[in-house]
C-alpha cells in the first residue's frame, strides 16, 4: 500500500477522533496489528481496506487517489 494512502488513513482517523485502538476493535484485530498496518509494516487485507474506507468516510478520498493521482493503478497502459 502506498505511503500517501497510509497517511490519508491516519489523517482521516484522527479527523474522525478515533484512536488506533478503536479502529482495531471495529476491524476485529489486535491494536498492535492495526498499528503495524497503519504504519505500513504489514498489509491490510482487501476486506480491511473496504471496512476502513467505510468507517472513516473515505469514499471520495479513494476516488481521488485512484483517478487523479499519477502513481495510480489503472487497467490501462498509461501508468
Average pLDDT of the chain to the nearest whole number: 84
Polymer length of the chain:
79
If pLDDT is split at 50, 70 and 90, which confidence band does 3 have?
A: confident
Cell of 48: 480491511
Residue 48 has pLDDT above 90, yes or no: yes
Phi-psi region of 28 (alpha: psi -120 to 50; beta: other; left: phi over 0): left
User: For the whole model, what pTM was predicted?
Assistant: 0.74
Q: Where are the beta strands (DSSP E) in the chain?
A: none
Please count the CA atoms within 13 angstroms of the CA of 31 that sit on its side-chain side: 5
23 pLDDT exceeds 80?
yes
**Angstrom distance (rounded) from CA 34 to CA 43:** 10
Give pLDDT, residue 65.
67
- The model's confidence at residue 74, banded by pLDDT at 50, 70 and 90, is very low
Amino acid at each position: 500500500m502506498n505511503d500517501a494512502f497510509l497517511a490519508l488513513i491516519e489523517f482521516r482517523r484522527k479527523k474522525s477522533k478515533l484512536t488506533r485502538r478503536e479502529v482495531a476493535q471495529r476491524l476485529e484485530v489486535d491494536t498492535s496489528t492495526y498499528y503495524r498496518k497503519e504504519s505500513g509494516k504489514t498489509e491490510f487485507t482487501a476486506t480491511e481496506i473496504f471496512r476502513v474506507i467505510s468507517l472513516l468516510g473515505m469514499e471520495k478520498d479513494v476516488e481521488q487517489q485512484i483517478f487523479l493521482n499519477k502513481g495510480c493503478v489503472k487497467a490501462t497502459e498509461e501508468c
